[in-house]
Chain A
């Protein structure tokens, strides 16, 4: 059974940093592209970043470029999102999701982790 468990969320002040983790199990992690998607309270889904199975390619939405870094440790089956210079508009539930074709659908999603950016 595929399991994705996010952690690392919480309340942080504007301008500070936070690092999210997504622990994967139940599938061969190193074969899958991975994504972070976020959802602000009462809003829709917004793609944030993606990374190829090897970690060699990464993509970001414009609003987080230069502030967020997606990475992965295939030996630990874990995906990361380093978030720096956080802004109030980054407040959201952050989901990690698998993408077996890396460019296809988001097959499985974690339960999400809440990030609140506020002073």
Chain B
């Protein structure tokens, strides 16, 4: 299985930039298509798709969210961080079955 590694917690100040990383145990890219996706989950709610295929903003997601990366290293950036962004963020790969998720990064206020 492809293992995705995320830092468990990231503390940021409102208005600052948050950079959340996800490292895969093997490449999740096929012919320049990066099969890495990002989700936001607030307490008591279902996850919501933020970024698909590494860098594409999902419908209705604010432009302060962005994604980058390829191969094994990926980043979700939130700039600037707003109070509503305090949540857990998960990366997920669909390069091969089983789909796997990272353990999640909790974004906290500094």
Contacts and interface: CB of A to CB of B under 8 A. Distances in A.
Interface of A: 35, 44-47, 50, 59-62, 95, 103-112
Interface string B96-109: 01111111100000
B interface: dominant SS:
loop
Interface stretch (B10-18, B19-27, B42-50, B72-80): B42-50
Given A103-B94, A104-B94, A109 B101 contact: no
B104 A106 contact: no
A56 B62 CA distance: 37
A112 B46 contact: yes
Contacts of B52: 104-105
B103 A35 contact: no
B53 A106 contact: no
B98 A95 contact: no
Contacts, number: 57
B55 interface: no
17 contacts: A35-B99, A44-B90, A44-B103, A45-B92, A45-B104, A47-B92, A47-B99, A47-B101, A50-B97, A103-B35, A104-B35, A105-B37, A105-B52, A105-B94, A106-B37, A106-B92, A111-B46
Given A44-B90, A45-B90, A105 B49 contact: yes
B65 interface: no
Contact of A107 (B46, B49, B53, B97): B49
Contacts of A108: 49
B34 to A, nearest CB: 11
Given A45-B41, A61-B98, A95-B47, 10 more contacts: A46-B101, A47-B98, A47-B99, A95-B46, A104-B37, A105-B52, A105-B53, A105-B58, A107-B49, A111-B45
